[in-house]
């Protein structure tokens, strides 16, 4: 990190700051950005515990942003968005700084690539997948996804890059009319093979962590060219005017 960072970004998520869960994200953070990982309060093992925590999440975000002097903040975890109606609107009306959420950032990235039908790769259960699909549909993007094979979403972190690639290739081969792949949730981590798959499958691949980084830094008027992690970060397209 630079001795004089350009901006300070906060990342509020369900994992502890020291968790290996964050290592993949850290690999593509620009050197001149000060990044602070913070674990949200009241985290438990169930993704559904995010339901009904709108007030608490907004309050935590405001307090942490003030405490750390952040210029922008990332609130990770797509379940928070689909289980708390109006989250984005509340954050917009309450926060004084730009923010990024997983689904909103990823949808914006997908729209940059002008895609309409995507393969959704995510380790969550079918109920949450259906909620994600509804969210995407309301944004004009049709999503298809494979049948549930993991007993729990946490099992995804046991998969190595090669296994993630094989699973994605096999699923993609069974689809027709899919013009992008979207990875939601960092436990099913495609980062080490994202660019390889993108080049060989000839479709854009959007993963939520790179999408959130691109979105929040773009909101702050910053632009980079980060190679090795796919077209979104290497080309760094401008945000659509309506984001």
Which helix (H) or strand (E) segment holds residue 199: the answer is: helix 191-201
Q: How many CA atoms lie within 13 A of 138 on its CB side?
A: 8
As given in the structure block, the two tokens for residue 200 are 């060989």
Query: 10-46: buried (b, 16+ CB within 10 Å) or exposed (e) per residue?
Result: bbbbbbeeeeebbebbeebbbeebbbbbbebeeeeee
Residue range(s) in the chain whose domain bears CATH number 3.40.50.12500? 105-207
Burial 167-189 (b: 16+ CB within 10 A, else e): bbeebbeeeeebebbbbbbbbbb
Residue range(s) in the chain whose domain bears CATH number 3.40.50.1860: 7-102+209-234
Contact present, 114 and 139 (Cβ < 8 Å):
no
pLDDT in tens, 24-82: 899 999 999 999 999 888 776 678 888 888 999 999 999 999 999 999 999 999 999 99
Whether the predicted pLDDT of 147 surpasses 80: no
Neighbours of 105 (CB within 10 A): 26
Alpha carbon of 56 to those of 45, 48, 73, 224: distances in Å?
18, 15, 16, 34
Contacts of 205 (CB under 8 A, 6+ apart): 180, 181, 182, 183, 190, 194, 197, 198, 230, 231
Give the domain 105-207 fold.
Answer: Rossmann fold (3.40.50)
pLDDT in tens, 76-107: 999 999 999 899 999 999 999 999 999 999 99
Please state the rounded mean pLDDT for residues 158-174.
90
Q: In the numeric block, which tokens belong to residue 187?
A: 């436990």
Q: Kind and range of the H or E element at 54? A: helix 54-68
Percent of the chain residues topping a pLDDT of 70: 93
Asked if the model's pLDDT at residue 224 lies above 50, the reply is yes
Over residues 7-20, the mean pLDDT reads 85
pLDDT at 18 over 60: yes
Residues 6+ apart with CB under 8 A from 171: 119, 121, 146
Q: CATH topology for 7-102+209-234?
A: Rossmann fold (3.40.50)
Q: What is the DSSP letter of 237?
A: P
Instruction: Calculate mean pLDDT across residues 133-148.
Output: 93
pTM of the model: 0.93
The pLDDT of residue 243 is: 45
pLDDT of residue 151: 54
């Amino acid at each position: 990190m630079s001795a004089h960072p350009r901006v300070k970004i906060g990342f509020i998520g369900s994992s502890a700051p020291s968790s290996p869960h964050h290592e993949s994200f850290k690999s593509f953070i620009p050197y001149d950005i000060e990044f602070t990982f913070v674990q949200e309060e009241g985290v438990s093992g169930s993704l559904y515990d995010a339901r009904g925590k709108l007030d608490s999440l907004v309050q935590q975000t405001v307090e942490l942003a003030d405490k750390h002097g952040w210029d922008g903040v990332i609130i990770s975890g797509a379940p928070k968005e689909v289980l708390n109606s109006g989250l984005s609107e509340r954050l917009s009306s309450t926060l004084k700084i730009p923010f990024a959420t997983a689904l909103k950032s990823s949808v914006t990235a997908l729209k940059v690539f002008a895609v309409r039908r995507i393969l959704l790769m995510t380790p969550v259960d079918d109920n949450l997948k259906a909620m994600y699909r509804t969210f995407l549909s309301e944004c004009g993007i049709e999503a298809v996804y494979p049948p549930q094979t993991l007993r729990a979403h946490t099992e995804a972190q046991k998969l190595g890059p090669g296994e993630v690639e094989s699973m994605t290739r096999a699923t993609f081969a069974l689809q027709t009319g899919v013009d992008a792949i979207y990875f939601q949730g960092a436990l099913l981590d495609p980062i080490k093979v994202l660019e390889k798959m993108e080049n060989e499958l000839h479709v854009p691949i959007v993963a939520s962590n790179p999408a959130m980084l691109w979105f929040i830094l773009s909101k702050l008027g910053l632009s980079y060219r980060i190679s090795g992690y796919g077209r979104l970060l290497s080309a760094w397209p401008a945000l659509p005017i309506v984001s």
